[in-house]
Structure 1
Amino acid sequence: MQFTYRETTPSDEDFEILVAELSSELKALTSDSGESSFHADSFSLGTDICLVIYQSEKAVACGSFRKHDSETCELKRMYSKYKGAGSYLITLLDSCAVIKGYKRSVLSTRKINNNAVCFYERHGYSKISAYGKYVNTNKSVCLGKSLAT
Structure 2
Amino acid sequence: MKFEHKKVEPSNSDFQSLVAELNSSLTQITSDSGESSFASDTFDSSKDGCIVVYQNNVAVACGVFRYHESEVCELKRMYSNKYGAGSYLLEQLERYAVNKGYRRAVLSTRRVNSKAVSFYERNSYSESAAYGKYIGVKRSICLSKVLVT
**TM-score normalised by length of structure 1:** 0.99
Distance 1:136 1:87 in 2: 29
Structure 2: runs of 5 or more not aligned = none
Distance 1:31 1:115 in 2: 16
Matched, 1:128 2:138: no
What is the Cα deviation at residue 137 of structure 1? 0.6
Question: What's the C-alpha RMSD, in Å, of the aligned pairs?
Answer: 0.6
**How many residue pairs get matched?**
149
Q: What is the match of residue 138 of structure 1? A: 138
Q: What is the match of residue 58 of structure 2? A: 58
Distance 2:26 2:42 in 1: 22
Paired letter, 1:38: F
Q: What is the match of residue 107 of structure 2? A: 107
**TM-score normalised by length of structure 2:** 0.99
What is the Cα deviation at residue 148 of structure 1? 2.4
Query: How high is the sequence identity, in percent, across the aligned residues?
Result: 57
Task: List structure 1 runs of 4+ shifted beyond 4 angstroms.
Answer: none
Q: What do residues 25-72 of structure 1 show as CA deviations (whole Å, max 9, x unaligned)?
A: 101110000000000000001000000000000000000100001110
Paired letter, 2:81: K
Structure 1: runs of 5 or more not aligned = none
